[in-house]
Amino acid sequence: MVAVTSSRAESRDGFAEKHGLRSFASVAEMLPEIDVLDICTPPSSHSQYILEAAAAGKHVIVEKPLTGFYGSPEQYDKPRMLAGVVDEVRKLRDAVRGAGIILGYAENFVYAPSIQKEREIVEKTRAQILRMVGEESHSGSHSPVYGIWSIQGGGSLIAKGCHPLGAILYLRRKEGLARTGKPIRPVAVSARTHSINRLPAFEDKGFLRTEYRCCTWCSKTAWWPISQRPSWCWAASTILSRYSPTITVRDAV
């Protein structure tokens, strides 16, 4: 690690001084001095920095989630949101391939002991995985911008679902490499979110964060109870929610 940048001068300069690094005012300014860009910023800025790095011929490591849809749920329905994300990911894919760089996705959940034990079993026995179901439940990130749709790019499926989904894709890839020498790639992913805090028996004891501003709608309506928020609302779906992805996989493509 040789350099760092951040939107706040005091943050980047303090970090650089503490760790003996060079400090730059922007990613563009830093790119000529590095070989790999590690993006640890909120998701809304990921695409911009990936594209800048690709244009400069620099390899990229990016934190999860890769990207999302940052428009208001008040103005866009779910099919348009999905189409927007697909277009964005394709643009990133084309830029990375065109530049001939490596794009590394930083999902450390795959290195959890249970996931690594399963990988070891699959690789040693060349076992066939018949079914996997992933689930994630926790109270949410401690980031100050977590829960703001225009920055996070989505709700529970983006913020939490990326963890079990990444593990499932990882193990299927390892299975394919062990059995045939080629990674198994998914052709479809289906998912559903369960809002546990919408259950009639749910009791809010004040231990968990269950409501906050998530978008322009919340800003206009202030701190509304969960029960009065629309179904697309981040605050109504993300806290205490569970994510259960089901992945359909065919032969390697």
- Report how far residue 163's alpha carbon sits from residue 48's, in angstroms, rounded to the nearest whole number: 23
Q: Check whether 203 has a pLDDT greater than 50.
A: yes
- The percentage of the chain sitting over the pLDDT mark of 90, rounded to a whole number, equals 49
Q: pLDDT (tens digit, 9 = 90+) per residue, 216-242?
A: 445 444 344 444 555 445 444 433 334
| Burial grade of 31 (CB within 10 A; 0-12, 13-18, 19 or more) | buried
Going from N- to C-terminal start, the domains of the chain cover: 107-253
Going by pLDDT thresholds of 50, 70 and 90, the confidence category of residue 194 is low
Name residue, tokens 């501003």.
213
pLDDT given at position 211? 54
The larger pLDDT score, comparing residue 137 to residue 71, is at 71
Q: Which span out of 161-170, 192-201, 238-247 was modeled with the highest average pLDDT?
A: 161-170
Q: Give the pLDDT confidence score for residue 241 in this predicted structure.
A: 39
